[in-house]
């Protein structure tokens, strides 16, 4: 379990992982290799099926000569995957994925069907005398079977699908929905994975103090690292988000209830549960909505007619005044995000600035400090503002170029501090590199 965490009893979640010692923001709380992972089908052929490195000039992928449906960066990954499960699945893979039973599955269930097949590919490995620590931990995880009783079909020979194997598959799968992880690089998902120790330890909060990232290295299995988003006191529970805390309240409750079997009692859910009715916001484009957006910006970011203030009190939703409650309505965030992505590409640029700043204000109000989404958006906003200063668009936006640059610099400094706290992850390049390029360009001004 490492030096940092211990398991304490929890009234409803069985256990809670508690900090044994103070943990500094940005520290790695735990680092564990994957027990088993499976690529999203859309990533097949783009990444090595073993280490998930992206195909590039430096990483050439070779196809498996058996199924021609798996790709490897070299013999280390190919041999490891073969030994773990591919030797049992290779011959059946193409017929399996072409079958009606498989084709009828959702994209999520398709990946889980292959991941489950990988896990049961060697039923003998699950015998009590052969269990690894990770296997033992996985079998000790809480179960939340699917309400519809569904268990995916297996990509194995008929002979391998004995009553024992099918029962094992059911047993393992009953832990998938509430324990497995979706692997992502810079907020883009690429695989599903099983990390038993992380599952055993980490409970959910919509106001988490930690978050997971996935480290890729050539020829190595993926590692999960859990990073402290803020300073954590000795005795505090360490929690991660099982879903995006910015999802609407009811969507979060339904997902946590159905997939994980619990009712969330975090600060955000407690706050939102007390609101009797979230008022519907005005339509996008209406003057009243401009007023609401401006009030949210000023609540989270201070007086931005001067300069964007680096927010000092993230996660301040509990202080939201009644007039700002419509921003919690399920329609508000999707419409705001859409307005920013549309106007930042097509203009009008004055609206891109407004919606980009409002979105930053929303994220800062709702997410905990240093939440990666805040940093990613602050970087996108800084890039948009910088691009405006380099084109005639600044005149179109009616903005003063010096002020745009100052806004860009503040958004960039903010992005840098959030993203540096989270640290590098996933694919090469990415936001930290973009931060340093943009910092260089702004410094030249
Ligand atoms: C990944 S496990 C977390 C570890 C779990 N506490 C254990 O002892 O194995 C997920 C399960 O833990 C429980 N859980 C996680 N977060 C919770 C929370 N905030 N409140 C209540 N139960 C929670 C639920 O039963 C959920 O299905």
pLDDT tens digits for range 132-160: 999 999 999 999 999 999 999 999 999 99
Cα(265)–Cα(277) distance, integer angstroms: 19
Best of 32, 146, 180, 204 for a ligand 1 pocket test (most atoms within 8 Å of beta carbon): 204
Are the beta carbons of 13 and 203 closer than 8 angstroms?
yes
- For the domain that residue 313 is a member of, what is the CATH number? 1.25.40
Contacts made by residues 394-397, CB under 8 angstroms, sequence distance 24+: 394/349, 396/347, 396/348, 396/349, 396/350, 397/348, 397/349, 397/350, 397/352, 397/353
Mean local confidence (pLDDT), 19-36? 97
What domain range is 322 assigned to?
276-444
Collapsed DSSP state (helix, strand, coil) of residue 31? strand
Collapsed DSSP state (helix, strand, coil) of residue 182? strand
Spacing, Cα 368 to ligand 1 middle (Å):
20
Asked if the interface predicted TM-score (ipTM) of this complex is over 0.85, the answer is yes
| Run of H or E residues at 203 | strand 203-204
Same domain, 170 and 298: no
Higher-confidence residue of 193 and 393: namely 193
Asked if residue 245 is part of any domain, the answer here is no
Mean local confidence (pLDDT), 112-117? 98
Same domain, 292 and 437: yes
Q: What pLDDT is stored for residue 297 in this prediction?
A: 93
Mean local confidence (pLDDT), 306-331? 79
What are the two backbone dihedrals, phi and then psi, of residue 247, each rounded to the nearest 5 degrees? Answer: -65, 155
Are the beta carbons of 145 and 176 closer than 8 angstroms?
no
Collapsed DSSP state (helix, strand, coil) of residue 229? coil
Q: What pLDDT is stored for residue 314 in this prediction?
A: 59
Of 76-90, 307-321, 330-344, 410-424, which gets the smallest average pLDDT?
Answer: 307-321
Token output for 424? 């590098």
Cα(284)–Cα(333) distance, integer angstroms: 11
pLDDT at residue 396 is higher than 70:
no
Asked if residue 189 is part of any domain, the answer here is no
Q: State the pLDDT confidence band at 7, using cuts at 50, 70 and 90.
A: very high
Asked if residue 405 is part of any domain, the answer here is yes
Same domain, 44 and 159: yes
Best of 30, 35, 142, 241 for a ligand 1 pocket test (most atoms within 8 Å of beta carbon): 142
Asked if residue 207 is part of any domain, the answer here is no
Same domain, 295 and 419: yes
Q: State the pLDDT confidence band at 315, using cuts at 50, 70 and 90.
A: low
Q: Which of 148, 179, 210 is the last residue of a domain?
A: 179
Mean local confidence (pLDDT), 354-372? 95
Q: Which of 134, 156, 179 is the last residue of a domain?
A: 179
Q: What pLDDT is stored for residue 379 in this prediction?
A: 97
Q: Which of 179, 199, 220 is the last residue of a domain?
A: 179
Spacing, Cα 251 to ligand 1 middle (Å):
18
What integer best gives the mean pLDDT of the chain?
A: 93
Mean local confidence (pLDDT), 37-60? 97
Minimum CA distance residue for ligand 1 atom 4: 200
Tens digit of pLDDT for each residue in 212-232? Answer: 999 999 999 999 999 999 999
Asked if residue 230 is part of any domain, the answer here is no
Asked if residue 153 is part of any domain, the answer here is yes
**How big is the chain, counted in residues?**
445
Ligand 1 pocket check for 204: Cβ under 6 Å: yes
Q: Tell me how many domains the chain contains.
A: 2
Distance of CA 209 to the CA centre of its chain: 14
pTM: 0.95
Mean local confidence (pLDDT), 62-87? 97
Mean local confidence (pLDDT), 57-66? 97
Q: What pLDDT is stored for residue 309 in this prediction?
A: 52
Higher-confidence residue of 347 and 395: namely 347
Ligand 1 pocket check for 144: Cβ under 6 Å: yes
Token output for 347? 């203009």
Q: What pLDDT is stored for residue 307 in this prediction?
A: 52
Distance of CA 298 to the CA centre of its chain: 28
Burial (CB < 10 A; 0-12, 13-18, 19+), residue 286, is exposed
Collapsed DSSP state (helix, strand, coil) of residue 240? strand
Mean local confidence (pLDDT), 161-169? 95
Give yes or no for a cis peptide into 388 (omega within 30° of 0). Answer: no
Q: What pLDDT is stored for residue 128 in this prediction?
A: 83
Mean local confidence (pLDDT), 383-393? 83
Same domain, 152 and 281: no
Cα(145)–Cα(74) distance, integer angstroms: 38
Same domain, 281 and 412: yes
Q: What pLDDT is stored for residue 406 in this prediction?
A: 86
Q: What pLDDT is stored for residue 217 in this prediction?
A: 97
Same domain, 437 and 294: yes
| Run of H or E residues at 224 | strand 223-228
Same domain, 433 and 305: yes
Higher-confidence residue of 284 and 46: namely 46
Minimum CA distance residue for ligand 1 atom 14: 13
Asked if residue 252 is part of any domain, the answer here is no
Cα(438)–Cα(431) distance, integer angstroms: 10
Asked if residue 199 is part of any domain, the answer here is no
């Amino acid at each position: 379990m490492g030096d940092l965490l211990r398991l304490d009893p929890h009234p409803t979640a069985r256990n809670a992982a508690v900090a044994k010692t103070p943990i500094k923001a940005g520290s790695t709380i735990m680092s564990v290799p994957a027990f088993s992972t499976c690529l999203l089908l859309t990533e097949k052929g783009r990444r090595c099926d073993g280490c998930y490195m992206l195909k590039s000039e430096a990483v050439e992928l070779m196809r498996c000569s058996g199924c021609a449906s798996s790709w490897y960066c070299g013999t280390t990954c190919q041999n490891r995957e073969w030994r773990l499960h591919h030797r049992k699945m290779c011959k059946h893979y193409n017929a399996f994925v072409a079958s009606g039973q498989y084709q009828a599955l959702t994209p999520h269930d398709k990946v889980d069907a292959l991941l489950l097949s990988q896990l049961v590919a060697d039923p003998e490995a699950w015998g009590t005398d052969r269990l690894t620590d990770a296997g033992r931990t996985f079998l000790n995880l809480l179960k939340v079977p699917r309400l519809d009783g569904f268990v995916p079909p297996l990509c194995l020979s008929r002979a391998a699908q004995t009553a024992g194997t099918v029962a094992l598959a059911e047993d393992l799968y009953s832990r998938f929905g509430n324990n497995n992880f979706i692997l992502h690089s810079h907020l883009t998902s690429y695989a599903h994975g099983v990390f038993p120790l992380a599952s055993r330890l980490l409970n959910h909060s919509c106001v988490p103090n930690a978050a997971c990232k996935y480290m890729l290295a050539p020829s190595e299995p993926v590692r999960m690292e859990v990073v402290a988003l803020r300073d954590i006191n000795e005795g505090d529970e360490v929690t991660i988000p099982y879903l995006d805390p910015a999802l609407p309240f009811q969507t979060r409750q339904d997902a946590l209830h159905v997939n994980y079997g619990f009712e969330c009692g975090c600060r955000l859910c407690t706050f939102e549960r007390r609101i009797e009715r979230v008022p519907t916001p005005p339509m996008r484009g209406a003057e009243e909505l401009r007023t609401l957006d401006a009030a949210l910006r000023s609540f989270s970011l201070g007086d931005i007619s001067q300069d964007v203030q680096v927010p000092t009190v993230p996660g301040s939703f509990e202080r939201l005044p009644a007039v700002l409650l419509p921003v919690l309505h399920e329609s508000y965030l999707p419409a705001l995000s859409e307005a920013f992505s549309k106007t930042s590409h097509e203009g009008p640029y004055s609206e891109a600035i407004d919606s980009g700043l409002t979105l930053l204000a929303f994220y800062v109000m709702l997410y905990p400090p240093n939440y990666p989404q805040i940093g990613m958006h602050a970087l996108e906003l800084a890039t948009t503002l910088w691009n405006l200063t380099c084109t005639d668009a600044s005149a179109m936006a009616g903005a003063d170029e010096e002020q745009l640059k100052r806004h860009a610099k503040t958004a960039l400094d903010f992005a840098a501090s959030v993203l540096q706290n989270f640290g590098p992850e996933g694919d090469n390049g990415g936001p930290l590199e973009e931060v340093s390029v943009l910092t260089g360009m702004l410094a030249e001004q």
